[in-house]
Amino acid sequence: MNLPTLIRSEARLLLPTYERQPVFFTRGRGVYLWDAKSKRYLDFLSGIGVNALGYGHPAIQATLKRQAARLIHVSNLFFHEFQAELAQRLTKISGMDRAFFCNSGTEAWEGALKLARALARAENNNGHKAKWRILALENSFHGRTFGSLATTGQAKYRHPFAPLVPGVNFVAFNDLEDLRRQFDSSVCAVCLETIQGEGGIRPVSQEFLQLAGELTARSGALLILDEIQCGLGRTGRYFAYEHYGVMPDVVTVAKPLAAGLPLGAILTTNRVARGMHPGLHGTTFGGGPLSCAVAITFLEVLDDLLENVQQIGEYFRAQLQMLATKHTFIRDVRGLGLMLGVELDSPDRAKAVVQNLLQQGIIINRTHETVLRFLPPYTIEQKHVDELIGALDKALLVKSVKLPIRPIIGHKLVARSQP
Ligand SMILES: Cc1ncc(COP(=O)(O)O)c(C=O)c1O
């Protein structure tokens, strides 16, 4: 199968949900990917933050091989040996008490929202209406399912699917006054990404997170942090909220947790768990033996990588800032650890830079129109950063780039009744 054939087949057979880059990857090793023509790419996106250990990590391969041969799935109707151990490790590093395992980020987020409403009902034993309002942040992104969309503060994701889940209000990003104004005793949760990812790599401010923590703690509402993109080592600590010293009531994780297998988790406290009982929430696939066994291995490897994320992250950030002094159309350099963003002056320039880097054999992506997003594997070394910076320096001088091949999106409609 070659790329043009693949593009034509997908255009005919798949829902037109993606505008893929015209690259056909066939294998990966370390921080590199290779396409079908054996061109090598340095990966500074890692499958949107999933492949934190890069490709073909020996410890992950060994666990995959061993566990795939023993047991892949049993459903949540029975016990297997890995959920409790994984929960033990995740609660230890997060300061939470309990875990629920699912299959993706959006599913973790949906479950977290349900926890807030369920606890509000369970604690409402005084005859008043239970807390129900959820405060989310403008510019946020929490996933594609209805609850996640309802709390995603970007019109382009929400509007095509309205009406969404009711009871959600949006607070202006990092606006303390707006948070104070909208928060009252009807709020069951304040929910936010500790560092907004899709929204352009924007860390929430210390003051804002602290205020959200104080208001929720005082009223009994929950502080729910989405660490699906910024959690599990991405910022050089296990969780981004550790940089702030503010403890959430619920935290969601996913992306790198099972090193490429689909696995998400909700982590929470014993108090919040009182809102749940058997039958109230569940999943068929979530937390199977294969993904949990791999996640345990991921966490074991992660322990020794946090320092590298911190050190290389600082070096990387300093190099990006150096570029910002040279290229006047760099508006900002943001982020923590190996979750970094460079805001440019225009969407066209950002698009051209991503395309040019791809031609040079380096993978990044563009988010929020103008922001170059860097989410490399935690295993990158200084020489990889230097390679990226050299290529980016060149790419920033390129005005526009012609794409070699565009995906074909045209679709012929065929009536359902047609034979
Ligand atoms: C912060 C955040 N929350 C939720 C999600 C949704 O995760 P998933 O795509 O696994 O459903 C994402 C995905 O990019 C994300 O970055």
Position in ligand 1 atom list of the atom nearest CA 148: 4
**pLDDT of 385:** 98
Q: What is the pTM of this model?
A: 0.94
Q: Is 229 in the pocket of ligand 1 (CB under 6 A)?
A: yes
Quote the strand ranges of 322-370, DSSP E: 330-336, 339-344, 362-363, 365-367
- Which whole-number Å values give the CA distances from 187 to 119, 191, 223, in the listed order? 12, 11, 11
- Which whole-number Å values give the CA distances from 300 to 2, 85, 98, in the listed order? 39, 12, 19
- Euclidean distance between the first and final Cα of the chain, in Å? 28
Minimal-distance CA residue to ligand 1 atom 10: 105
Cα 128 to averaged position of ligand 1 atoms, centre (Å): 35
Position in ligand 1 atom list of the atom nearest CA 262: 10
Q: Is 140 in the pocket of ligand 1 (CB under 6 A)?
A: no
**pLDDT of 129:** 82
Spatial CA neighbour of 299 closest among 336, 235, 256: 256
**408 in helix, strand or coil?**
coil
Cα 382 to averaged position of ligand 1 atoms, centre (Å): 28
What is the token pair recorded at 56? 């073909």
Neighbours of 409 (CB within 10 A): 10
Q: Is 268 in the pocket of ligand 1 (CB under 6 A)?
A: no
What is the token pair recorded at 210? 């602290």
Sheet holding 371-374, edge to edge: 330-336, 339-344, 371-374, 365-367
Q: Is 44 in the pocket of ligand 1 (CB under 6 A)?
A: no
Position in ligand 1 atom list of the atom nearest CA 196: 1
Q: Is 263 in the pocket of ligand 1 (CB under 6 A)?
A: no
Cis before 163? omega within 30: yes
- Which whole-number Å values give the CA distances from 289 to 6, 182, 299, in the listed order? 33, 43, 15
Query: How far apart are alpha carbons 277 and 187 in whole angstroms?
Result: 22
**pLDDT of 408:** 43
Alpha helices in 25-82 (DSSP H): 46-49, 58-70
What is the token pair recorded at 344? 């440019």
**pLDDT of 1:** 84
- Which whole-number Å values give the CA distances from 112 to 91, 124, 280, in the listed order? 16, 18, 13
Strands 133-137 and 187-193: parallel
Cα 233 to averaged position of ligand 1 atoms, centre (Å): 16
Neighbours of 159 (CB within 10 A): 10
**pLDDT of 126:** 61
Query: How far apart are alpha carbons 378 and 250 in whole angstroms?
Result: 25
Buried b (16+ CB within 10 A) or exposed e, 306-330: bebbbebbebbbebbeeebeeeeeb
One pLDDT digit (tens) per residue for the chain, 419 residues: 899 999 999 999 999 999 999 999 999 999 999 999 999 999 999 999 999 999 999 999 999 999 999 999 999 999 999 999 999 999 999 999 999 999 999 999 999 999 999 999 999 866 678 899 999 999 999 999 999 999 999 999 999 999 999 999 999 999 999 999 999 999 999 999 999 999 999 999 999 999 999 999 999 999 999 999 999 999 999 999 999 999 999 999 999 999 999 999 999 999 999 999 999 999 999 999 999 999 999 999 999 999 999 999 999 999 999 999 999 999 999 999 999 999 999 999 999 999 999 999 999 999 999 999 999 999 999 999 999 999 999 999 986 544 444 444 444 444 454 43
**352 in helix, strand or coil?**
helix
